[in-house]
């Protein structure tokens, strides 16, 4: 595939769709949906082709200096900026995750989004371009541009098509992420200047900059500047407070993208920039970051336990799961990094699916309160099966993707900080608790309003509804006043099954045979580990 700028095609295919929708005044909502679907499908097809022709036998670009599918064009030579694209195994896998989830999100918005469809699809497609651009850029300047480019469409998605408290959530999301990334901008320029002072070369090429020798003090500061930006995206405790708001208020597709891809950018940034560029600082910061990760795992799980809102529960569980990612990365050994990678992919698939699943009953019942559902397994058996499947995947049930990742991450952590590994292990039980409890209440228990079943000893005792004042803050205008009986919900249709099936297949695949995916990322992870002495592959 030499000579074909396939990465540019993948990245800009959605943007082309957005431009068409924008400049074609006659685009009906229906046409806008189709254009969006087709352009994101093109991107998906190209990215799968890219992944299939990706050569896993080649040494990683950090070693050879030659990224695969590389594209280099001079852009602003005076300040060392070039248009430099390329992928290694890590980004290749994440690109496919992004394109896949984007297609699914567009399908998921097909019927629920009826207001300003054209603008919605434009924002969706631009968001996809921004996300893909982040993964393909190897120039720090270019990377930063795409990094910021994602912000605006995402904020608009939350702010225009979100639920009651959307404006607050959108602005909070925007300001939080912007504040973090601006510090990173200073870090980028400082790195550029330090490298220039050392070698006399103007460059922002990541692979080149990683060869610099930076003083320890410099590394500590600049590492922190990058780290805060990524920690906000992950999000790591205590930078996580934007996440529950954003998730709860975003439309379903927004939540899917947010959980599935945007959170991965934090982990990706740590792997791509923090570790290779500032290994010394990474080692010095390691204990603190491990502590924060453990807190995140614990905190996310505990808070998830008490959430009355389905989306909020999953949002906090994300904080917990992403804690495994940072824990794995900062174990600095093969198991830890592999685990982190699998958790990232798995979380993208599983949590994306869970948000879709919540969205499906939200579309039917116009509420996300757990207490408003019950007994869905009776009238929505297919739905409940999918729900149960992804619930188990999220818990980390062996044979599904969550298990493979968290197991490896904990294994990695145990070798470095035994206590951290042990705590993380214990918390997995908590995650089973909150997920299964949620599933029990939504799928099995008596629906609100249903008379107690005289023949069922378990359900004979009536379940008290939560007091109204406890529900108020989360109810907002989420339509709770127009209560729809969950017993009347129709089961999911073919479109919804179509959305969940690929995610389910991949979840199972990763769980049973993770080697397919690990083969892609191994060389890259190995190269990242080199300055840390360990390989262990």
Q: Which residues bind another protein (CB under 8 A)?
A: 75-79, 116, 141, 144-145, 148-149, 151-152, 156, 159-160, 166-167, 170-171, 174-175, 178-179, 182-183, 185-186, 189-190, 192-193
What is the Cβ-side half-sphere exposure of residue 452, based on CA atoms within 13 angstroms?
Answer: 10
* Shortest separation between residue 222's beta carbon and another protein, angstroms: 10
Distance, in Å, from the CA atom of 532 to the CA atom of 537, rounded to the nearest integer, reads 14
Distance, in Å, from the CA atom of 97 to the CA atom of 245, rounded to the nearest integer, reads 24
Is the CB of 52 or the CB of 78 nearer to another protein? 78
* Shortest separation between residue 131's beta carbon and another protein, angstroms: 15
Is the CB of 76 or the CB of 505 nearer to another protein? 76
Is the CB of 180 or the CB of 396 nearer to another protein? 180
SS (H, E, C) 14-77: HHHHHHHHHHCCCCCHHHHHHHHHHHHHHHHHHHHHHHHCCCCCCCCHHHHCCCEEEEEEEEEH
* 143 touches 187 (CB < 8 A): no
In angstroms, how far is CA 62 from the centroid of its own chain?
A: 24
SS (H, E, C) 496-511: HHHHHHHHHHHHHHHH
* Shortest separation between residue 252's beta carbon and another protein, angstroms: 19
Is the CB of 69 or the CB of 144 nearer to another protein? 144
Distance, in Å, from the CA atom of 524 to the CA atom of 530, rounded to the nearest integer, reads 10
* Shortest separation between residue 147's beta carbon and another protein, angstroms: 8
* Shortest separation between residue 381's beta carbon and another protein, angstroms: 40
CA dihedral 296, 298, 299, 303 (to 10 degrees): 140
Is the CB of 172 or the CB of 347 nearer to another protein? 172
* 353 touches 503 (CB < 8 A): yes
Is the CB of 227 or the CB of 389 nearer to another protein? 227
Distance, in Å, from the CA atom of 290 to the CA atom of 77, rounded to the nearest integer, reads 40
Is the CB of 151 or the CB of 529 nearer to another protein? 151
* Shortest separation between residue 32's beta carbon and another protein, angstroms: 14
Query: Of 197, 92, 99, whose CA–CA distance to 138 is shortest?
Result: 92
Q: State the Cα angle at 383 between 381 and 384, rounded to 5°.
A: 65
* Shortest separation between residue 276's beta carbon and another protein, angstroms: 21
Is the CB of 4 or the CB of 76 nearer to another protein? 76
Is the CB of 76 or the CB of 484 nearer to another protein? 76
* Shortest separation between residue 413's beta carbon and another protein, angstroms: 33
What is the Cβ-side half-sphere exposure of residue 518, based on CA atoms within 13 angstroms?
Answer: 22
Distance, in Å, from the CA atom of 248 to the CA atom of 170, rounded to the nearest integer, reads 11
* Shortest separation between residue 179's beta carbon and another protein, angstroms: 4
């Amino acid at each position: 595939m030499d000579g074909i700028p396939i990465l540019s095609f993948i990245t800009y295919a959605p943007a082309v769709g957005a431009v068409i929708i924008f400049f074609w005044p006659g685009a009906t909502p229906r046409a806008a949906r189709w254009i969006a679907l087709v352009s994101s499908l093109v991107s998906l097809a190209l990215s799968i082709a890219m992944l299939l022709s990706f050569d896993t036998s080649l040494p990683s670009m950090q070693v050879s200096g030659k990224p695969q599918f590389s594209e280099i064009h001079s852009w602003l030579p005076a300040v060392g900026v070039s248009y430099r694209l390329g992928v290694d195994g890590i980004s290749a896998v994440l690109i496919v995750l992004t394109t896949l989830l984007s297609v699914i999100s567009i399908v998921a918005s097909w019927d629920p989004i009826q207001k300003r469809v054209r603008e919605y699809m434009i924002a969706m497609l631009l968001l996809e371009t921004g996300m893909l651009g982040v993964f393909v850029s190897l120039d720090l300047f270019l990377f930063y541009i795409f990094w910021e480019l994602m912000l605006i469409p995402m904020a608009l998605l939350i702010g225009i098509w979100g639920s009651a408290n959307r404006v607050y959530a959108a602005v909070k999301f925007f300001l939080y992420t912007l504040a973090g990334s601006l510090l990173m901008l200073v870090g980028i320029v400082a790195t550029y200047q330090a490298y220039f002072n050392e070698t006399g070369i103007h460059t922002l090429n990541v692979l080149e900059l990683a060869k610099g020798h930076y003083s320890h003090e410099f590394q500590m500061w600049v590492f922190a500047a990058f780290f805060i930006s990524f920690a906000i995206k992950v999000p790591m405790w205590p930078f996580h407070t934007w996440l529950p708001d954003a998730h709860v208020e975003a439309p379903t597709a927004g939540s899917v993208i947010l959980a599935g891809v945007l959170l991965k950018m934090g982990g990706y940034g740590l792997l791509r920039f923090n570790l290779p560029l500032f290994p010394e600082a990474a080692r010095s910061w390691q204990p603190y970051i491990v502590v924060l990760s453990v807190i995140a795992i614990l905190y996310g799980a505990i808070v998830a336990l008490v959430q009355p809102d389905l989306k909020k529960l999953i949002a906090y569980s994300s904080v917990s799961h992403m804690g495994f990612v940072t824990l794995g990365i900062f174990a600095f050994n093969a198991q830890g990094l592999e685990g982190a990678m699998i958790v990232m992919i798995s979380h993208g698939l599983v949590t994306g699916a869970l948000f879709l699943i919540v969205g499906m009953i939200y579309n039917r019942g116009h509420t996300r309160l757990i207490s408003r559902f019950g007994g869905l397994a009776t009238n929505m058996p297919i739905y409940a099966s999918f729900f149960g499947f992804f619930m188990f995947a999220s818990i980390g049930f062996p044979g599904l993707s969550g298990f493979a990742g968290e197991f490896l991450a904990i294994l990695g952590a145990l070798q470095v900080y035994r206590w951290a590994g042990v705590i993380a292990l214990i918390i997995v039980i908590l995650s089973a608790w909150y997920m299964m409890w949620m599933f029990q209440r939504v799928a099995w228990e008596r629906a609100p309003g249903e008379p107690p079943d005289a023949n069922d000893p378990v359900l004979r005792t009536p379940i008290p509804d939560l007091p109204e004042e406890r529900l108020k803050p989360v109810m907002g205008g989420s339509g709770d006043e127009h209560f729809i009986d969950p017993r009347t919900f129709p089961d999911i249709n073919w479109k919804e099954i179509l959305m969940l099936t690929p995610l389910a297949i991949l979840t199972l695949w990763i769980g049973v045979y993770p080697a397919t995916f690990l083969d892609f990322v191994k060389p890259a992870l190995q190269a990242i580990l080199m300055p840390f002495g360990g390989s262990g592959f």
